[in-house]
Structures are given as C-alpha cells and as structure tokens.
C-alpha cells in the first residue's frame, strides 16, 4: 500500500472521529433550561427570582436581561443558577442566555404566579364547562393571564429536577379551553382588580389524595402512608400491578363483547333503527335499572327511544345532551354512531351533524355499560336534543333490554395516587420557581378520613412552604361543597366532619378558605359552577395576599356560643355588613341537642348579628350544629356581602370566660 493511500485512510479516519465526537461535545456543552423557563413565562414580581438550568461542568453561563448582565459557572454536576433582582409588574421582556450555545426567551412578564393544585375540581378544564361559560370564553383574550399545565406523572424513587413537557399559554378563546376553570376565574378576578399579569401553574390530578402531594420527609409523621410510598419504589411491583389490572380489565370487556346479545347478530345489531323491539320493557329515563326487573345487574344494557323531529329541526346540526351516564356509553342516532364516553363523570354532550335528523320519526340508541354499582342515567340532569332555540325533551319512557350480565369488575389500582408520587414528579420540579401563593381544591379522596385530615392537611401546607423556602406564603383552599342526597332530619356525616377539618385548618397562618356549601350539586361530584369558586378564592387572595383590609373575603365563621334561658346564642367572625337569611325569612338547617347529644331540628333567628337557636323539644341545650350534612340543602345563613356561612358544630366547644362576659354585657 503506497504512502498516499495510507495518508488518505488516516485522514478519513481522523475526519470520521471528529464528526463522531462533535455530537458528544454538542450534547454535553449545550445550556439546557427547565420546562418552566420558556417563552411567555410570568416571573414573580417584587422578589428575587431564580433562573436555573444545566450545562457542561464548569461551563460559563451569561444572562442578558432587562439592560443587565449576569454570569455564573456550572458546578461539578453541570447545574447552574442565577438570581435576578426584584422587578415591578410589567413586560414584555426578552432574555438571552449564552453558554456553548445561545438561547433566547421572549415575551416574559413580571406579575404574580399562583400554583393551582388538588384533584379533579381544580384540574377540570374550561372545556368541560364550555357551554356554561360561552360568553366568558369568547371574551377571554388577555395576554396578561397565562397558564402552564404540568404533565400528569408520578415518581416514587426521588424528587425530579424537571418536567417532561409543558409551555406557557396566553388566555384566548382557544387556549383557555385547557386552563383550569377555577384557576382561570381566579386569575381573571385578580387581573380585573389589580391589572397585573397573573400566571397559573396547574399541577393537579383527578382523584388524587393529599398524601400523594406530600414529600417523603413530611410523610414520616404518617407511617402508613410513608411505608406505602416505600413499597412503590419497586418498579417490579408497579409493573405487576399495572399488568394484572390490564389483563383483568381487558378480559372483562372482551367477555362482555362476546356475551352481548346486541352484537351477536351482525345483520341485526341492536343499534339499527328498524330493529323489532315489540317485546322490550320500558324504563323511565333518567333513572337506574336497579329499580327495574333487571335489578342491580352489571354488564351492558341497551336503551332505545323514538322521537318525532319537526320539519324546522330536520337536517340541521344539533346537540344531543344526555346528562351523565353510569358508567360508559355508546350512542347512535338513526343507526349512525354519534359518540362514546368511557367513564361516568363527564357530561354527555354529543354533536349531531347536519343531515342526520330527519323529519318525522327518528331513533336514539344508547348502549350503557355498568362495571360496578348501579348503572343508568343520573337524575336531575338535562336529557334533550337542542337545535338553535328548539328542543326535544328526551326524559320519559325508553325501551331497554339487557345485552349481557357480568360479575362486577374490581376497581383499577391507581398507582398514580399513591403517597409522595405526585410530589416527586409534579411539585419538586417547580420548587425553584417563585410563587405568590397556592390555590388548592382537594378533599373528595380524603373525605372518608376526616380525623386524619385534621393533621394531614396542615402538614401538607407546612411541607410545601418548607420546600419553597418563601416563608408562609398564602395558601387558599376550597371547602368541600354540598354533595349527595339531601336528608330531612339531622344526622351524622363524614363530609361534614371533613369540612370541619378544613375549617380548623384556618388556624394555620396566612390561609383562607372559600366556602362552597351552596354551589355544589347533589348528583355530581364535579359541580359546574367554577366561576363562583374562583371568585371566592380571589376574595381570599385579596385579603391574605394583597392586604386589602376593606374586602370581606369570607362568609360567617363560628366564633363562640352562650347558653341563656334554654337557648343557644351563637356569634361569628366575618359577618361583614351583617348577617342575613338568604332568600327566606327563616333560617334553615340549624339543629340543637341536650346532654344526650341527640340533635333535632331547631328554630333560629338573627338578633344583633348573632343567631339565637332553640327547640321546645330540648329545654336544656348544650350544643348546636349548622349545615351539618353531606348536602345541607336550604342552608341559608350568609353575610350581606352574599357569602355563605361555613358549616359548624359546637359539640366539643368550651365556653371561655371572656366570651361569657361578652354575652353578659349585651
């Protein structure tokens, strides 16, 4: 081999090595930012803020921002951070970050950043309530309200440094559909009040219990949760659980499909409009088939209804509204598939394209799958077809037939809800980002453990404040709303006990609670009224976070009681301009008991901004309760500012001398 060829081979090898190594230099020499640091971000005003990221070891990092330059060097792990001085509200700004590469972040605002967290009622996006807030969505364009959606993910092994994905979005009619509905209305109220940019970081997950959002250190005070968190560090355990669930659930639905008589005759499936249903029985919709001859069966049940469509609606696009259905449904109109929903909670609202509805007789078919519990159509919801101003009521008799009866399907093991997993994956990556405060809507998943919640919830607040290292930042939360069937007589209630645990958390510094006892829905754990929830949280923010001494941020809260002449006299804080019985002359939902602690309905009236409670059946009362029920329908004690009183009980209250003196002076 001649020297020239050898030289060429060596040169080619040299060039190959250079190009092979370049990607490595590029990979290790690139400045990288966390997902939170990006275009459109809102930085917390009036405080030092941290910009951080990763680069190669000892790489020099320079930031040019707001006419100033800042420099630092990446540490032995490649991590770096730069502290920016406090800024007034304003923008937009551009930030340039230089290392081995150059990054430019545009459209930065300085304002107030709020973390939105909790479970489904915080997570629930505007899209899910879009028909309720059509005007608000149309008018939502606002570059000063921005939202960052944290991906739903868990990790039990260690706190994560960054999120998998995410970006800042400005409020507009399209983007706002993915905003937390509660968060959006909260932000809008604050922006309207103060005209400063509001950033929302939405880290919430449906069904999540409080312990899932707590750090391992905080869970040590709750050994049962801490030990469970340790178990789920084992990837093999998680894989086994998820595989077992998947196999079991897949097998159940496969067998259901095989057994379902509605599908067995492919030439005459039960969704076809010309099916002979002469012998099908009839059931009232809404309702549950447990109340029919089927009894409490699980499996698939087919429902059919013939309707008459007038010429004025024929051929037009329309909306099919089927309230809520337990658990899953598939819907057909005149034999044409209209939509499906796989679980019970979303409202059923299906589009009917133009040309589907015909003048005269039309057929609606709904195949309902119940995997456990009672299947059917949720009561007190809308069931109708709407086209413009015209409606066809669908409530009333429907034909039905069982397609297949199945054994109940055991519930899924929701690994993502296990202790500390959400803290590690959805909260830990946020800890460097400065906040104004937190809004929290959670509790349904802990409602059966109210005694534990009395210490668990304050521990969560303390845990987050410790990790953010911003002192006692404002923490605002929603008390659970009214839910489940109303009862006419006083009784015990886990949800009432849980609300009391939330009320007691007000003793934690710098907190405020939005009472929602009047804006829930008895038949829906996801009430539609998210605007008032956001508004009431914003009132708490104005008081706690913004120092507005004039705002009345809460409804009446029990303060003290005094027994006199066979009656109990109750006083309150947060009475605002005075107490009122909303919409009625008589106060409702007060109960009273003697030493036997047997509560009976009581009379109550307002005198000098106190409430006098009594019952002839209890001549020597010792305790009073207000709105003490899962769903205290009709509870109507408010202040004149229109804010409802928090439910309370005085069973364990001890009269103090100063309170007794106060009452004796009046």
SS (H, E, C) 126-158: HHHHCCCCHHHHHCCCEEEEEEEECCCCCCCCC
Confirm whether 657 is domain-assigned: yes
pLDDT digits (tens, 9 = 90+) for 261-287: 999 988 889 999 999 999 999 999 999
* Domain endpoint, select from 406, 440, 466: 406
Structurally, how many domains does the chain consist of?
Answer: 2
Residue in 564, 596, 572, 539 with CA at minimum distance from that of residue 647: 572
Please calculate the CA angle 344-345-346 and round it to the nearest 5 degrees.
Answer: 110
Confidence band for 93, pLDDT divided at 50, 70 and 90: very high
* Domain endpoint, select from 406, 423, 453: 406
pTM more than 0.95? no
* CA atoms of 199 and 435, how far apart (whole Å): 9
Confirm whether 227 is domain-assigned: no
Q: What is the mean pLDDT of the chain?
A: 94
Cα dist from 633 to 375, 492, 601, 623, 637, whole Å: 25, 15, 14, 21, 12
Confirm whether 535 is domain-assigned: no
Domain boundaries, position 335 = 265-406
What's the average model confidence in pLDDT over 113-126?
Answer: 98
Confirm whether 315 is domain-assigned: yes
pLDDT digits (tens, 9 = 90+) for 424-483: 999 999 999 999 999 999 999 999 999 999 999 999 999 999 999 999 999 999 999 999
Confirm whether 225 is domain-assigned: no
Reduce the DSSP state of residue 514 to 3 states and report it.
strand
Cβ(333)–Cβ(262) below 8 Å: no
Which of 20-24, 307-311, 615-619, 637-641 is least confident? Answer: 20-24
The confidence score (pLDDT) of residue 141 equals 98
Residue 8 pLDDT greater than 70, yes or no: no
pLDDT digits (tens, 9 = 90+) for 354-389: 999 999 999 999 999 999 999 999 999 999 999 999
The confidence score (pLDDT) of residue 654 equals 61
Residue 6 pLDDT greater than 60, yes or no: no
Residue 537 pLDDT greater than 80, yes or no: yes
The confidence score (pLDDT) of residue 457 equals 98
Residue 71 pLDDT greater than 90, yes or no: yes
pLDDT digits (tens, 9 = 90+) for 408-426: 999 899 999 999 999 999 9
Residue 584 pLDDT greater than 90, yes or no: no
CATH label of the domain that carries residue 300: 2.60.120.260
The confidence score (pLDDT) of residue 653 equals 78
Confirm whether 336 is domain-assigned: yes
* CA atoms of 447 and 146, how far apart (whole Å): 32
pLDDT digits (tens, 9 = 90+) for 330-341: 999 999 999 999
What's the average model confidence in pLDDT over 527-555?
Answer: 97
Confirm whether 160 is domain-assigned: no
Confirm whether 389 is domain-assigned: yes
Residue 10 pLDDT greater than 50, yes or no: no
Residue 576: DSSP 8-state: T
In the numeric block, which tokens belong to residue 191?
């922006």
The confidence score (pLDDT) of residue 431 equals 98
* CA atoms of 208 and 172, how far apart (whole Å): 29
Residue 122 pLDDT greater than 70, yes or no: yes
Residue in 32, 33, 39, 34 with CA at minimum distance from that of residue 168: 39
* CA atoms of 159 and 421, how far apart (whole Å): 9
The confidence score (pLDDT) of residue 29 equals 64
* CA atoms of 496 and 599, how far apart (whole Å): 15
Residue 22 pLDDT greater than 80, yes or no: no
Strand ranges in 125-261 using DSSP code E only, listed in sequence order: 142-149, 168-171, 198-204
* Domain endpoint, select from 406, 439, 454: 406
């Amino acid at each position: 081999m001649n020297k020239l060829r050898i030289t060429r081979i060596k040169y080619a090898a040299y060039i190959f090595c250079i190009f092979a190594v370049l990607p490595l230099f590029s990979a290790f020499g690139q400045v990288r930012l966390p997902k939170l640091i990006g275009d459109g971000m809102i930085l917390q005003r009036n405080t030092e803020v941290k910009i951080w990221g990763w680069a190669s070891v000892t790489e020099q990092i320079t930031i040019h921002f707001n006419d100033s330059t800042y420099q630092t060097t990446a540490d032995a792990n490649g991590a770096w951070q730069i502290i920016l001085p406090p800024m007034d509200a304003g923008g937009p700004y551009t930030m340039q970050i230089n290392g081995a590469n150059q990054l430019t972040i545009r459209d930065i605002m300085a304002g107030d950043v709020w973390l939105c967290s909790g479970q489904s009622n915080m997570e629930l996006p505007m899209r899910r309530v879009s028909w309720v807030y059509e005007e608000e969505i149309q008018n939502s364009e606002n570059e000063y309200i921005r939202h960052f959606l944290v991906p739903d993910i868990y990790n039990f092994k260690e706190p994560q440094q960054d999120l998998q994905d995410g970006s800042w979005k400005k409020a507009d009619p399209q983007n706002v559909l993915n905003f937390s509905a509660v968060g959006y209305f909260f932000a809008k109220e604050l922006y309207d009040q103060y005209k400063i940019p509001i950033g929302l970081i939405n880290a919430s997950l449906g069904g999540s219990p409080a312990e899932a959002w707590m750090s391992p250190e905080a869970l040590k005070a709750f050994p049962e949760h801490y030990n469970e968190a340790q178990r789920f560090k084992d990837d093999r355990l998680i894989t086994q659980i998820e595989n077992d669930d998947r196999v079991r659930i897949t097998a159940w639905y496969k067998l259901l499909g095989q057994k379902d008589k509605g599908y067995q005759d492919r030439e005459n499936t039960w969704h076809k409009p010309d099916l002979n249903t002469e012998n099908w029985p009839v059931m009232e919709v809404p309702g549950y088939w447990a109340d029919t001859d089927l009894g409490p069966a699980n499996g698939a049940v087919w429902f059919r209804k013939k309707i008459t469509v007038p010429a004025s609606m024929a051929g037009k696009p329309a909306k099919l509204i089927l309230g809520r259905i337990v658990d899953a449904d598939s819907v057909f109109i005149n034999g044409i598939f209209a939509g499906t929903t796989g679980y019970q909670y979303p409202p059923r609202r299906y589009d009917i394209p133009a040309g589907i509805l015909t003048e005269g007789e039309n057929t609606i078919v709904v195949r309902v799958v119940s995997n456990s519990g009672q299947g059917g159509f949720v009561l007190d919801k809308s069931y109708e077809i709407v086209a413009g101003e015209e409606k066809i009521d669908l409530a009333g008799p429907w034909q039905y037939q069982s397609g297949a009866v199945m054994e109940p399907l055991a519930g899924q093991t929701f690994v993502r809800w296990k202790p500390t997993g959400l803290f590690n994956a959805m909260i830990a990556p946020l800890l460097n980002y400065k906040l104004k405060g937190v809004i929290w809507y959670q509790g349904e998943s802990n409602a059966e453990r109210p005694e534990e919640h009395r210490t668990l919830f304050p521990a969560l607040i303390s845990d987050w404040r410790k990790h953010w290292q911003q002192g006692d930042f404002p923490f605002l939360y929603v008390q659970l709303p009214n839910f489940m069937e109303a009862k006419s007589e006083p009784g015990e209630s886990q949800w009432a006990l849980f609300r009391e645990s939330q009320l007691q958390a007000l003793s934690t510094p710098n907190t405020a609670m939005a009472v929602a006892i009047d804006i829930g829905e008895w038949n829906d754990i996801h009430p539609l009224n998210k605007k008032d929830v956001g508004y009431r949280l914003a009132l708490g923010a104005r008081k706690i976070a913004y120092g507005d001494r004039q705002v009345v941020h809460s409804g009446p809260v029990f303060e003290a009681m005094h027994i006199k002449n066979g009656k109990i006299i109750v006083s309150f804080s947060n009475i605002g301009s005075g107490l009122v019985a909303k919409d009625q002359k008589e106060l409702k939902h007060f109960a009273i008991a003697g030493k036997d602690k047997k509560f009976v309905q009581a009379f109550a009236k307002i005198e000098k901004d106190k409430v006098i409670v009594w019952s002839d059946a209890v001549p020597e009362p010792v305790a009073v309760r207000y709105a003490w029920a899962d769903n205290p329908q009709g509870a109507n004690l408010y202040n004149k500012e229109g804010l409802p009183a928090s439910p309370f009980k005085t069973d364990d209250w001890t009269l103090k001398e100063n309170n007794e003196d106060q009452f004796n002076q009046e």
